[in-house]
Amino acid sequence: MPSPLTSAETTVLGGLDLAVSADIFLQGVLCAQFAHCMNLNTRDCLSLKLFVTGLALLTTLKTIQILGVRWMQNVTLFKDSGAALSLWATHWVPKLTPILEALVAVYVQSFFCRRLLTISRNVYVVILCMIAFTFALFSGIVAVFFTFTNISSPNYSTWTTN
């Protein structure tokens, strides 16, 4: 029989469930916005519609990944709370979260920069924004690299075991 969860462990696993639920809800909001964008804006050019379609596919992929994490935590590892708590340190699927989030952010921010250039006509402001966004993407890549290579570090999953 598995040992009962402590209050901190219950809080961590419950918090992860709430975060996944919020992600799924927001993906539903995004789907409604994508449908609205495609149906309402008939004068938009094909490249803009393809850009929005790419964003819809990328955010859907991220949500599928998060649903996979939830399935592993709540179904596959249901009886093994220790394995569920260390899931983010031991399995590759949860480790994709930072890079997928960074890719979605850069994708959206590149659209923002395109619109900012159209509105402001100030190339320097757009270049500064792109530098910041590139740094954010690079940070996401570094986070994924260290996530995959420092699995055996004793401090890696300290926040889930205390």
Whether residues 110 and 69 fall in one domain: no
Q: Would 162 be classed as within a structural domain?
A: no
Whether residues 110 and 143 fall in one domain: yes
What pLDDT is recorded for position 97?
Answer: 81
Whether residues 99 and 81 fall in one domain: no
Query: Tens of pLDDT along 149-161?
Result: 765 555 544 444 4
Instruction: Decide if pLDDT at 4 tops 50.
Output: yes
Whether residues 113 and 80 fall in one domain: no
Which residue, of 87, 106, 124, is where some domain finishes?
87
Domain of 49?
1-87
Query: Tens of pLDDT along 96-129?
Result: 887 888 888 888 888 888 888 888 989 999 999 9
Q: Would 143 be classed as within a structural domain?
A: yes
Place of tokens 């530098």: 131
Give the count of domains, the chain. 2
What pLDDT is recorded for position 61?
Answer: 93
Whether residues 82 and 98 fall in one domain: no
Interior/surface letters 103-142, b for 16+ CB within 10 angstroms, e for the rest: bbebbebeeebeebbeeeeeeeebeebbeebeeebeebee
Task: Tell me how far apart the alpha carbons of residues 21 and 66 are, in angstroms, rounded to a whole number.
Answer: 10
Q: Would 8 be classed as within a structural domain?
A: yes
Which residue, of 87, 113, 137, is where some domain finishes?
87
Whether residues 10 and 77 fall in one domain: yes
What pLDDT is recorded for position 5?
Answer: 65
Whether residues 34 and 81 fall in one domain: yes
Whether residues 58 and 134 fall in one domain: no
Task: Tell me how far apart the alpha carbons of residues 147 and 130 are, in angstroms, rounded to a whole number.
Answer: 25
Which residue, of 68, 87, 106, is where some domain finishes?
87
Whether residues 107 and 130 fall in one domain: yes
Who has greater pLDDT, 20 or 87? 20
Whether residues 108 and 42 fall in one domain: no
Query: Tens of pLDDT along 29-44?
Result: 988 988 888 887 777 7
Q: Would 115 be classed as within a structural domain?
A: yes
Task: Tell me how far apart the alpha carbons of residues 48 and 43 are, in angstroms, rounded to a whole number.
Answer: 10
Distance from the Cα of residue 87 to its chain's centroid: 16
Neighbours of 8 (CB within 10 A): 13
